Structure 1
Amino acid sequence: MASFGKVAALLLLLLSFCGASMGNFWTDVDITWGGSRAAITNNGQQLQLSMDRTSGSGFQSKNEYLFGRFDMKIKLVPGNSAGTVTAYYLSSQGPTHDEIDMEFLGNETGQPYTLHTNVYTQGKGNREQQFRLWFDPTADFHTYTILWNPRLVMFYVDGTLIRMFRNHESAGVAYPSRQAMRMYSSLWDAEDWATQGGRVKTDWSKAPFVATFGDIAINGCVWKGSASSCGASSSSWMNQAAASSDLQKMQWVQRNYMIYNYCKDVNRFPQGLPAECSLA
């Protein structure tokens, strides 16, 4: 009879191939930079990233995915986090890469965080939407979700839809549907732009800055070089569309907490807003 350890290892391998995450940082991600500034703790249930004047830190998913649902609990840098960026995103590689971004821009003590979102297709971004969060994201963990399927990309905060980017390839708008992406996260210094457009700089006397990640859940189609394997878990998200209740919540968030929308910035696009801005 096989030992328990061998059986457990085989189960983890099978689940990884099928695209269902066990929710453990040891099995799901690799720490990629920052040395000891990044550490997996609590038996793989949490991961801490820190940043000092010398370096930030980061990690990435072990697998690449072509479509998936990515959930992460994050507790952001507390106190005076001006100049810091805590990033949580998907990306492929190369000059014509695709990318789906959630970036949390630090603040002076007492000021709200800014959630910066963007979608890149074939190396082109310029699709920023920014939000103020309606809670203190440093006091406790909150769940941030990227759902990416062939129909749309959806961004959620604690289960509330805040943004959606639809597939309008039929109208000539590029969509991230052909390049496999990894999930990445990092904590890094962006004092030249992150807080009030770079007017407020990083206060290094407050270092090290620390963000904590927990309850990672990746359910995606694992890319194996030339094809992907989705597994049974894909049925819950692969064809998911936004319900009317989700759209109502998104409209509420965008009315009350959106502070920038590229589709409203006519000064930035004097030749006309991007095509997707006029499509339903």
Structure 2
Amino acid sequence: MAAFATKQSMLLLSSSLLLLIGVSTGSFYDNFDITWGDGRANIFESGHLLTCTLDKISGSGFQSKKEYLFGKIDMKMKLVAGNSAGTVTAYYLSSKGETWDEIDFEFLGNVTGQPYVLHTNVFTGGKGNREMQFYLWFDPTADFHTYTVLWNPLNIIFLVDGIPIRVFKNNEAHGVAYPKSQPMKIYSSLWEADDWATQGGRVKTDWTNAPFSASYRSFNDVDCCSRTSVWNWVTCNANSNSWMWTTLNSNQLGQMKWVQDDYMIYNYCNDFKRFPQGLPTECNLG
């Protein structure tokens, strides 16, 4: 009965949200605006390929035209090849304001032959400090791979090529804030952060390798609720969208355990030195 009541309350929450079900053509022209870089970000192949570049003068970036409040959002990315030390390719969702919410993928470059670090984080009400970091089980610079955020009233699931690597659950019942009311846009950028990005800032960017480039394809936001302006919200029917109630099944839990056992290199929930007064509440919940 408790589980039924919880789902019923979630249904009421979601049915009360005024949202527009976003259906994407996949075209970067239709879905994104290049926001900075002075010509260093460009769209090619009739809108199906976007590239960001970084040189010693500037990086570049883009953002979505729409805002999202829950959704399953896919992007294929190919990261900076070769010696990418000091570079960061950021791909994330974020709201505005001092108490913003945010869901982060950040790819920290490395020297040739060393693995990229996939850095993930979740912010609620302007508070983050929920970092988990991974190596990848493939070379993310050799080809495109799919990075997915599935965000619904129950949980946020980070997936790589359909394999879940991390889940942040809705634990509001235990006093943990959860992003559910602030619409977020999608942002991505390629920028230089050699004061911290590679081995804690010990390895600096080698500008003889510039310009650096990251590429994007196959954006998909068909399974989402979104708006293009504050004036066009319509009801998003949670009952007709199965992704609104998706959680991990037993097979996916096994996949996530494999990734976390073999490829996780940092978990804030294991960092007792960082939290001497006790780990964050969600770390002690199932």
> Is 2:233 aligned against 1:230?
no
SS of the residue 1:35 aligns to: coil
Q: 1:245 to 1:104 in 2, by over 3 A?
A: same
- Structure 1 stretches of 5 or more lacking a match? 1-15
Q: 1:214 to 1:232 in 2, by over 3 A?
A: farther
Q: Distance in 1 between matches of 2:174 and 2:20?
A: 35
Shift of residue 164, structure 1, vs aligned partner? 0.2
Query: Which residue type is aligned with residue 69 of structure 1?
Result: K
1:73–1:144: 8 Å Cα contact kept in structure 2? yes
1:1-280 aligned within 5 A: 17-219=20-222, 220-223=224-227, 224-225=229-230, 227=233, 229-230=235-236, 235-280=241-286
Q: Distance in 2 between matches of 1:176 and 1:18?
A: 19
Query: Which residue type is aligned with residue 237 of structure 1?
Result: W
Q: Distance in 2 between matches of 1:200 and 1:259?
A: 18
Query: Which residue type is aligned with residue 163 of structure 1?
Result: R
1:19–1:233: 8 Å Cα contact kept in structure 2? no
Q: Distance in 1 between matches of 2:240 and 2:79?
A: 30
2:116–2:136: 8 Å Cα contact kept in structure 1? yes
CA root-mean-square deviation: 1.6
Shift of residue 228, structure 1, vs aligned partner? 5.3
Shift of residue 232, structure 1, vs aligned partner? 8.7
Deviations, residues 65-95 of structure 1 (Å, cap 9, x unaligned): 1111110000000000000000110000111
TM-score of the two chains, using structure 2 as the length reference: 0.90
Q: 1:90 to 1:125 in 2, by over 3 A?
A: same
- Structure 2 stretches of 5 or more lacking a match? 1-18
Q: 1:234 to 1:75 in 2, by over 3 A?
A: farther
Q: Distance in 2 between matches of 1:272 and 1:264?
A: 11
2:148–2:159: 8 Å Cα contact kept in structure 1? yes
